[in-house]
Amino acid sequence: MHLKIAMAQLNVTVGDISGNRDKILAALRHARDDLQADVMMTPELALTGYPPEDLVLRPGFMQRTHERVTDIIGQVQGIDLVLGHPWLDDDGQLYNSASWIRNGKLEGRYDKQCLPNYAIFDEKRYFTPGNHPLIIDVKGCRIAVVICEDCWEKEPISQALRSGAELLLTPNASPYRRGKHQRRLDTLTERMSETGLPMAYCNLVGGQDELLFDGRSLFLSPHSEPLNAAHCQESIVCAEFDQQTKAWHDGIGLRHDQLSFDATTAVGVCADREGDLAEVYQAICLGVGDYLKKNGFSTALLGLSGGIDSALCLAILVDVLGAGQVSAVTMPSRYTSDLSNNLARQQTDLLGVKLSILPIESLHESGVTLLADQFSQPVKELTDQNIQARLRGLLLMAISNQTGAILIATGNKSELATGYCTIYGDMCGGYAPLKDVSKTLAYELARWRNNCAPAIPEAVIDRPPSAELADNQLDEHSLPPYDRLDAIMEFYVEQDLSIHEIVARGFDEKEVRRIAGLVLKNEYKRRQGSPGVRITSRAFGRDRRYPITSGWLESGEDS
């Protein structure tokens, strides 16, 4: 006997319960009528979106959720549905649940047992852990449901096996980070080898604030090769499970149907590329595209400096929105080189983007003159530089207010880590595509993007980086070379290594201590910065929570 299992790798919106319901039901009809599937599974908390955070604490939100669950139950006919949603029981306990629905009836409900409470997860703040398995018979096959983190721990799957399960269905909301897919595959394969249970792993796709869900749903069996769904693409995947061989049968191949309703890919000319940098670029594009779309923005603008960060951001925006929906502004000062002005014009001509030129020299002079009476000494160089950056932020925000276009902050992770950025200046913006992208990775992505199709003038990539806020200014005058800086930052921020451990890897202790001190000192800037796509194991924001006021800063990091 063969079972057809469909997985709806959906891009839902947190809080849009009715819209998500409609999307789920449309996918269900497609799985039933076009794919003739026996069962369709949604991702974890698909009805409300993930993570719903404190929305689940609002009575009206949970009441609407219960109403929409009832709506869905009444419309399920001719196919089973495994639906992810939060559930508030009569005793006031809130669960992260998956309901098994068949022909207008609820067959059973599984409550997630292992609640993650690390990194970006804080499910213990909201949910009560479940403790019972759910086993449902479909065509004589006993199928169990476990949810996301339950696959990373041994007990829930072992419990399902002891209860007679022959197949696992697992709804997930597993956020993307670079290299995450292989780690998922290794962990799931380990669980499968422990129990012998084949599984269908359905993951969420799409951007939610800082988080990005990459999809890549999986059909896994000890007796067949893994079948993978697409990266960063909303779709339905369908495969047959052979109950005799316990293998996912490839006789029909992997059905991979892009949904006809509201599918989001947002990867531009690079959609068919593969490899690590392709995955990162596509993830950033999807995160940016979903943030803009789900928050009602159809147009975007940025300040284009002639440097690598704004150039890469412009290429991303054009890939996501199209050139006609993007505008760029260059704001030269006395310190802006002709090369920067020319490169900004070259790139906008290359991509077909409108470029506005707003010189800030007169505003700069007026501002310094106006402030002269307030200062008891000549204007400090840092003060003068920040005046320029903030004037640019003022102009860009004014254009954003006037046009309704979202302003994109173009800073990268290396700058945010060390505070090499101006709060209320170049940090202005509603979203930061490169917030979790190091400077060295920005260069790699720019070169990769140009290999797809020319988008960034080569001179932008080749020139030494500079903020151009003072004569002959280069980043390396204030910071170590980015290859060293980014390596230290990765060890200190993403891997939480101590100074001694980093020094033992061959770095200069004085330099390591300086970088660590800058990271700690500039938490106040990052706390007021824009959200941005998370692509590493430790992004600034909800992923890394450090105090602004801290005695640790005074004593230094010396563990």
Structure tokens at 376: 């008891």
Q: Is 417 exposed, middle or buried (0-12, 13-18, 19+ CB in 10 A)?
A: buried
Query: Which residues are CB-contacts of 502 (< 8 A; sequence separation ≥ 6)?
Result: 488, 491, 492, 512
Cis? peptide before 198, omega within 30° of 0: no
CA distance 312 to 310: 5
Catalytic site residues?
44, 112, 148
State the DSSP string of 498-556.
Answer: -HHHHHTTT--HHHHHHHHHHHHHTHHHHHTS------SSS-SBTTB---SS-HHHHH-
Instruction: Residue 45: name the closest of 82, 70, 75, 74 by CA.
Output: 82
Which class for 373: exposed (0-12), middle (13-18), buried (19 or more C-beta within 10 A)? exposed
Taking a C-beta distance cutoff of 8 angstroms, is the pair 282, 180 a contact? Answer: no
Let me know how many helices (H) and strands (E) the chain has, helices first. Answer: 17, 20
Tell me which amino acid residue 434 is: L
Contact in structure between 537 and 494 (CB atoms under 8 Å): yes
DSSP string, 385-425: HHHHHHHHHHHHHHHHHHH-PEEBP---HHHHHHT-S-TTT
Q: Which residues pair with 318 in a beta bridge?
A: none
Compute the distance between CA of residue 63 and CA of residue 87 in angstroms, rounded to an integer: 10
- CA angle 481-464-305, nearest 5°? 120
Cα(441)–Cα(409) distance, integer angstroms: 17
Structure tokens at 288: 């940016």
Structure tokens at 477: 């005058």
